[in-house]
Every structure is written in C-alpha cells, then in structure tokens.
Amino acid sequence: MSVAIYRNPFTFLEVPWYRDCPEADVVITGIPFDMATSGRAGTRSGPGAIRQASANLVWDQPRYPWDFELSDRLRIADAGDVDFPYGEPQAATDAIQAHTRSLLEAGRTVLGFGGDHYVTLPLLREHARTHGPLALLHFDAHTDTDSEGTAFDHGAMFHHAVEEGLLLPEQSVQVGIRTTFSRAAHPFEVLDAAWVNEHSADEVSRRVREILGDRPVYLTFDIDCLDPAYAPGTGTPVAGGLSSDLALRIIRGLVGVDIRGMDVVEVSPAYDHAELTSLAAATLALEMLYTRAAGV
C-alpha cells in the first residue's frame, strides 16, 4: 500500500484534531485526490494549502462582519486527509465513502477540501444515504454534467449524481457558470456568471433560496467559480468569473438554509501566486462555517 506523502500536519484554523474532539459538530476532511482531472493537475495539494492559508484567518475573531465567535456556536475539528493508494480511483472512492459514512453515522457535518471536483460524487453518495436526495447548490465555472464523461471524471459527477438519484434536480442551482452546456436537457437551474455579476449579492442569494426552498442542501464550491484574477491556482480557469467579495456575500446571504454537507474543491497550489487561491478557498470555507453557525 502506498503512502500519501503530501499529507499536511496542520489543522484548518488551528482547530483540534477530530480524534481529540470526537463530539465536534463540523469535521474538516481533506481529500487529496486529483486522478479525475481533465486539465492541469495538482489539486492533491489543495487541502494542505487551504489549511496553511487559514493560519492568516485565525486572529480575526469574530470574523468581520459577524457579531459572534464561531467557537461559541460550533465545535469544529479537523480529521486530516483521507488516505488512499495513488493510481486507483475506485479504491480512493471507497476510502472517501467509508470515511464520510463513519462521520455522518456519528452525527457529524462534513466540510471537505478537495482534491479535484470528482470527490463531490463519493461525498454526495454518503450524504444522500444519510439524508435522502439533496438539493445541490453548486458554485462553478462549469456545470460538470457531461453525459459522456467517464465514471471518474471531474466534469461529469453531477450527471452521474442525477442518474444515481442522489439529487433533487428541480431544487438544485448552479451559480457562476460561463462555459457551454446543453440547456435543453439540463437538469438544474443555472444562474450564469453574467447574470450573477449584473445583480447584487442580496438578489443572487434571494434567487438561490427560492430555488432551494426548504430542502436539505449540499453546498459545493469549485474555486474556479471565482475569476482567475482571484483564484488563478486551479486546473481549468475561465475568465469572467465572480469576485471573492461577491461570492462571500452570496454565501453570507444563506443563513438559515438547511445545509447538510459542504466542500471547497479544485485548489491547485502549483498554479497559485502568493496564496491567492488557497486564501480565497480558506476564507470561503470560513464564511460557510459562520453562515451555518448563524443559523444554529
């Protein structure tokens, strides 16, 4: 069995390890998997880079503009990275699912750090097993619904997820899309990047909430939803995206949405500059945690 030598010993936001805090409400899990990448690889190093960048966010408590300390409302722990052999995507998938299942069966909420976006499929399988089919809230430049993609393809997971009955397509929405897709057969509502950039964060959040309704939600954030100016360190960057400020404010507008699971994916540190991308990812993850805590 091979060993993932790129695992990182630092926890996100310096929270305790899960083994030392088994009663945690939310458990961070790194998934250093990039075997399903179509473009530039390197997202196996994403979880470590996000944790490293989060060190710059620890001092700002309570985080601006929130009015409470995150740790007063949520117990957060970090389970480290899922371990799996390289070159074996099915074995990795099994390991991701087993790890996620054990956390969900223990009543924890999972916040996953990719890894390429394929990792959301095994995460969704276990969330749907626990919670039933979920409304998908998906931030991305791409729809990831390629019906001709393979079983291990970071551009086809949401096609497979619909086929597997993991999602509630009519209550699902994709935000920030700016690559082509077949609208006629498309299963989800799309708020494309041009529409989002022409509207206020409040208007976008309101429309997202209308679509999701009161359904249980899985929130997945592909960092390439942001414009490459804000997130260059990713495998398939596309110009014309959201600013980090707009994305953060859209997420802040989701307090009270019934979010059952979350991930931030596609951070590829080898293409990053000055930790721009990993800092954006860490900040988005922190905003997701505050948004959840505000709704508790």
**Residues lying near Mn ion in the complex (CB under 5 A):** 140-142, 222, 224
- What does the CA dihedral 139, 249, 281, 96 come to, rounded to 10 degrees? -50
Whichever of 230 and 290 has its CB closer to Mn ion, that residue is 230
Whichever of 37 and 93 has its CB closer to Mn ion, that residue is 37
Whichever of 70 and 193 has its CB closer to Mn ion, that residue is 193
Helix (H) or strand (E) holding 27: strand 26-31
Q: Supply the minimum distance, in Å, between the C-beta of residue 295 and Mn ion.
A: 27
CB 32 within 8 A of CB 14: no
Whichever of 189 and 224 has its CB closer to Mn ion, that residue is 224
Task: Tell me: is residue 154 an annotated ligand-binding position.
Answer: no
Whichever of 127 and 142 has its CB closer to Mn ion, that residue is 142
**CB burial of residue 147 (10 Å; 0-12, 13-18, 19+):** exposed
Q: Supply the minimum distance, in Å, between the C-beta of residue 79 and Mn ion.
A: 25
Task: Tell me: is residue 140 an annotated ligand-binding position.
Answer: yes
Please give the radius of gyration of the chain, using alpha carbons only, rounded to the nearest integer. Answer: 17
Whichever of 96 and 223 has its CB closer to Mn ion, that residue is 223
Task: Tell me: is residue 144 an annotated ligand-binding position.
Answer: yes
Task: Tell me: is residue 153 an annotated ligand-binding position.
Answer: no
Task: Tell me: is residue 20 an annotated ligand-binding position.
Answer: no
How far from 75 is each of 57, 62, 72, 160, 182, CA to CA, in Å? 17, 15, 8, 33, 42
Which SS3 state, helix, strand or coil, does residue 229 take?
coil
The 3-class secondary structure across 241-294, one letter per residue, is CECHHHHHHHHHCCCCCCEEEEEEECCCHHHCCCCHHHHHHHHHHHHHHHHHHH
Q: Supply the minimum distance, in Å, between the C-beta of residue 266 and Mn ion.
A: 6
Q: Which of 102, 101, 84 is nearest to 93 (CA)?
A: 84
Query: Within 13 Å and on the Cβ side, how many CA atoms surround 251?
Result: 30
State the residue for tokens 């990792």. Answer: 119
Q: Which residues are annotated as a binding site for Mn(2+)?
A: 117, 140, 142, 144, 222, 224
- Residues contributing to the annotated binding site: 117, 140, 142, 144, 222, 224
